[in-house]
Amino acid sequence: MPNPETTTTLVLPALGDHVDEVTITRWLKNAGERFEHDEPLLEVSTDKVETEIPATGAGTLLEILTPENEVVPIGAALAVLSGSEVADPVPAQTRAMPAAAPVMADPPPSVAVEPATTPTVQRLSRVRQTIARRMLESLQTSAQLTTVVEVDVTSIAGLRAQEKEDFHRRTGVKLSFLPFFVAAAVETLAEHPVLNSSLDADCTEITYHADVHLGMAVDSDKGLMVPVLRDAAGLSLVQLAQGIAAVAERVRLGTIRPDDLAGGTFTITNTGSRGALFDTPIINQPQSAILGVGAVVDRVVPIRRAVPALEIGVRSMAYLSLSYDHRTVDGADAARYLTAVKRRLERGFTADDLR
């Protein structure tokens, strides 16, 4: 039988290499209350994440040592617990937030919010305050400009319609348009390295990244974040589809880690996931560019198959918007990159690319 008088101190566990301190957001248990194994004891927040700290055994919360809204470092004593099976905790859920502001494909269902019946004032969470600050800092730091092109993805739409059921059966992942856009964008970066670069704070040196660590903006019920797909240039179309689905799932399940958000060199956001044709996304500093993918829509457009013949037909069309740092990327650079991505998409893919 365990000794019920055994006590231990609950300490704040490590939350990733880039997290040094947190704010105690909310205690989920009061002094004197029992808890079970894996039951969340409190919520904490950092600049990037909101995390529930769970119990690693059953016991009783005897005393709260750190009150709500207090900022504490990793390893700080949080509470005194009873129960011999209680050990040092590890975070069970991590909900991360990005420094960029767009959304990805297949967002979760909207959370119902009751309309306010009077003027309502609510304090921003630490995460939301950080996002607000970084959005403004991004605009104040770099000279941001957006270029837009229109692309015909009728060929991809046909391939997707033909292959999506088999693809889902083989991979367990739904085949959206997004992996095709991502594959074209990543492939094209090799010939346009200035888009996959970072400028130092003094504006004296630019780093051209050898690898593409791709940030994918993801929507969640707690807000937006940008997890990173490492070495995206080495991933096949199938692996990209699986990777996108995996990071999106981890975001929505709350299992994403702070380290999963670090080190991106280029970002893609599917602004069309909610029906938007295009927008002007804000760059995720210190990156040089972010590509926005608009909704794929059927439109009647002119088609010139041979000079001077001109036809009118229904095509699957989408806009691509590239926001870039004009300190290092010229308008011609941005236009050349977008045009190259457009050509790659309109060249299309084959069924073999999905195997």
Residue 221: inside a domain, yes or no?
A: yes
Residue 305: inside a domain, yes or no?
A: yes
Pair 148, 60 in one domain = no
Pair 285, 194 in one domain = yes
Whether this prediction's pTM lies above 0.85 is answered by no
Tokens of 275: 């029906």
Residue 17: inside a domain, yes or no?
A: yes
Pair 150, 257 in one domain = yes
Residue 111: inside a domain, yes or no?
A: no
Summarised one tens digit per residue, pLDDT across range 32-55 is 999 998 898 998 887 766 778 888
What pLDDT score does 225 carry?
A: 85
Q: What is the DSSP pairing of strand 59-64 with strand 49-54?
A: unpaired
Considering 326, 333, 352, 353, which one is annotated as catalytic?
326
Pair 285, 195 in one domain = yes
Pair 226, 308 in one domain = yes
Residue 313, helix vs strand vs coil: strand
Residue 116, helix vs strand vs coil: coil
Pair 190, 248 in one domain = yes
Pair 50, 163 in one domain = no
Pair 205, 339 in one domain = yes
Low-confidence ranges of the chain (pLDDT < 70): 1-5, 48-49, 84-117, 126-127, 222-223
What pLDDT score does 214 carry?
A: 98
Q: What is the CATH number of the domain that holds 51?
A: 2.40.50.100
The verdict on whether 260 is a catalytic residue reads: no
Pair 250, 326 in one domain = yes
Q: Specify whether the CB–CB gap between 271 and 252 falls below 8 A.
A: no
Of 19, 54, 82, the residue at which a domain comes to its end is: 82
Of 28, 50, 82, the residue at which a domain comes to its end is: 82
Residue 110: inside a domain, yes or no?
A: no
Residue 114: inside a domain, yes or no?
A: no
Pair 42, 153 in one domain = no
Summarised one tens digit per residue, pLDDT across range 170-222 is 999 999 999 999 999 999 999 999 999 999 999 999 999 999 999 999 987 76
Q: What is the CATH number of the domain that holds 312?
A: 3.30.559.10
First to last CA, the chain: 56
Pair 140, 275 in one domain = yes
Considering 298, 330, 352, 353, which one is annotated as catalytic?
330
Residue 306: inside a domain, yes or no?
A: yes
Contacts of 177 (CB under 8 A, 6+ apart): 105, 153, 156, 157, 160, 293, 296, 318
Of 82, 97, 115, the residue at which a domain comes to its end is: 82
What pLDDT score does 338 carry?
A: 98
Q: In this structure, what are the phi and psi dihedrals at residue 61, rounded to the nearest 5 degrees?
A: -80, 110
Total number of domains in the chain:
2
What pLDDT score does 56 carry?
A: 85
The domain of 25 spans 7-82
Contacts of 347 (CB under 8 A, 6+ apart): none
Residue 303: inside a domain, yes or no?
A: yes
What single string gives the DSSP state of each residue in 187-230?
HHHTT-GGGGEEE-TTSS-EEE-SS--EEE-EEETTEEE--EET
Pair 55, 190 in one domain = no
The verdict on whether 326 is a catalytic residue reads: yes
Q: What is the DSSP pairing of strand 266-269 with strand 214-216?
A: parallel
